[in-house]
């Protein structure tokens, strides 16, 4: 198989509800959509779901665009391949930029499964016909506003709620949520906002009493020691997210017992091949996993649903319906959750039609490898920041 054409589209979608984490807030999301076309005219779609600003990680939508145009496109065009893993080998010498790589890898997996006439979930080895979904709620202006958001999502059928926490917005929101909704599946996500020390340990030991499903990424991404030491003091499982970029990171987590649950983000881990490897290793080690999100548009969201069909995704994943975040998505039909579950598509590839006409019309910037004079530096409309779910 050989890719004959690569197109990139810089797309922004406004959020229905402003979203705030421990580091930033946003009212819209910017991602790069990847289209790969092979010599037979078959098309595969991927999504570079990098954040707009360097708060979740050092990679941003701007650095991803630059990496894609300058270093990934020509490698993809020059490489003959039979399986997506073969194509991913073409950029093995490129260090970092996992989000950019993940967008191209996702498009390759979509293209591959379409040519095989099977669903992406089947190509990955998925076994589920539907996946359980949870929702991620940001920091709100008040406790009352947060409780209203929780109630709204529970009424929509979601059984798991994740609360973003940060210093000064942690114990009281959790206490109030648990008091108002004593039986829900509740967990918290700090996005590495806390510093190791007695004060943080005391806080998390207080949270330990609220029967949380997990405490996600309390400390810095590289601080495995702090996570391991904290886990020794808690009954609540620690879940690592930002810490796990490579399989070697996961091996470190397992060896040091720095966490008992793994959040697998396709983008953070550089694509579906490595994400599947992480799933397999975690399963062999008895560590349950779930699929985290980056406020993906429909392409990335459908990719996450397919990945979540693998057997060790035993906890609800961040694959809630598109309608929770966007008035309009870029795929049809959009990803929908019914009673907190999302159906896994059985159609070839992603199983959704990409609205190419709308993307072409609304994209803030485009790149087309078929245009010989394309420099990939078209003027972009200034927009607000985007980020992480």
Known catalytic residue at 265:
yes
Predicted confidence pLDDT, tens digits, the chain (389 residues): 999 999 999 999 999 877 767 666 778 899 999 999 999 999 999 999 998 888 888 899 999 999 999 999 999 999 999 999 999 999 999 999 999 999 999 999 999 999 999 999 999 999 999 999 999 999 999 999 999 999 999 999 998 999 999 999 999 999 999 999 999 999 999 999 999 999 999 999 999 999 999 999 999 999 999 999 999 999 999 999 999 999 999 999 999 999 999 999 999 999 999 999 999 999 999 999 999 999 999 999 999 999 999 999 999 999 998 888 899 999 999 999 999 999 999 999 999 999 999 999 999 999 999 995 554 444 444 444 444 45
Whether residues 139 and 261 fall in one domain: yes
232 Cβ contact list (under 8 Å, min separation 6): none
Whether residues 144 and 74 fall in one domain: no
Whether residues 356 and 239 fall in one domain: no
Whether residues 248 and 193 fall in one domain: yes
Whether residues 250 and 170 fall in one domain: yes
Identify whether the C-beta of residue 212 lies closer than 8 Å to the C-beta of residue 188. Answer: yes
Identified catalytic residue from 162, 164, 183, 324: 164
Could you list the beta-strand ranges (E) of 288-370: 289-291, 331-332, 341-343, 353-354, 365-368
Task: State the virtual CA torsion across 387, 363, 271, 329 in degrees, nearest 10.
Answer: 70
Whether residues 53 and 190 fall in one domain: no
Tokens of 109: 């997996």
Q: Choose among 38, 148, 139: nearest CA to 82.
A: 38
Identified catalytic residue from 26, 101, 162, 265: 265
Range of the domain at 23: 3-117+352-368
Strands 134-137 and 185-189: unpaired
Identify whether the C-beta of residue 271 lies closer than 8 Å to the C-beta of residue 305. Answer: no
Counting the structural domains of the chain, the total is: 2
Whether 373 is in a domain gets the answer no
Evaluated on CA atoms 88, 89, 93, 96, the torsion sign reads positive
Whether residues 239 and 329 fall in one domain: yes
Whether residues 69 and 83 fall in one domain: yes
Beta bridge partners of 331: 354
Whether residues 104 and 136 fall in one domain: no
223 Cβ contact list (under 8 Å, min separation 6): 196, 243
Identify whether the C-beta of residue 244 lies closer than 8 Å to the C-beta of residue 268. Answer: yes
Whether residues 127 and 274 fall in one domain: yes
């Amino acid at each position: 198989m050989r890719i004959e054409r690569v197109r990139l589209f810089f797309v922004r979608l406004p959020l229905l509800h402003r979203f705030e984490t421990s580091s930033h807030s946003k009212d819209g999301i910017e991602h790069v959509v990847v289209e790969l076309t092979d010599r037979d005219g078959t098309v595969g779609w991927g999504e570079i779901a990098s954040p707009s600003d360097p708060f979740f990680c050092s990679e941003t939508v701007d650095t991803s665009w630059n990496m894609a145009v300058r270093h990934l496109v020509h490698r993809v065009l020059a490489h003959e391949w039979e399986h997506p893993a073969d194509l991913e080998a073409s950029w093995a010498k490129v260090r970092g930029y996992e989000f950019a790589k993940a967008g191209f890898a996702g498009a390759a997996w979509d293209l591959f499964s379409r040519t095989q006439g099977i669903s992406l979930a089947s190509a990955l080895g998925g076994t589920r016909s539907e996946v359980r979904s949870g929702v991620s709620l940001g920091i709100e202006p008040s406790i009352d506003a947060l409780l209203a958001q929780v109630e709204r999502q529970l009424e929509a059928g979601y059984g798991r709620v994740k609360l973003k926490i940060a210093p000064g917005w942690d114990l009281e929101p959790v206490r109030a949520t648990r008091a108002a909704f004593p039986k829900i599946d509740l967990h918290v996500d700090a996005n590495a906002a806390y510093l190791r020390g007695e004060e943080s340990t005391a806080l998390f030991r207080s949270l330990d009493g609220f029967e949380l499903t997990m405490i996600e990424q309390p400390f810095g991404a590289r601080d495995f020691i702090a996570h391991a030491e904290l886990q020794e003091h808690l009954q609540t499982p620690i879940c690592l997210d930002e810490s796990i970029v490579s399989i070697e990171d996961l091996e470190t987590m397992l060896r040091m017992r720095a966490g008992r649950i793994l959040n697998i983000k396709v983008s953070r881990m550089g694509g579906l091949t490595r994400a599947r490897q992480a799933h397999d290793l975690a399963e062999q080690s008895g560590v349950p996993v779930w699929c985290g999100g980056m406020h993906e548009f429909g392409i990335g969201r459908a990719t996450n649903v397919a990945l979540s069909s693998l057997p060790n995704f035993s906890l609800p994943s961040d694959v809630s319906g598109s309608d929770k975040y966007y008035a309009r998505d870029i795929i049809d039909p959009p990803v929908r959750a019914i009673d907190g579950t999302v159906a896994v598509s059985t159609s070839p590839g992603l199983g959704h039609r990409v609205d190419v006409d709308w993307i072409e019309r609304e994209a803030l910037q485009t790149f087309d490898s078929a245009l010989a004079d394309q420099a990939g530096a078209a003027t972009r409309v200034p927009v607000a920041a985007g980020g992480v779910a």
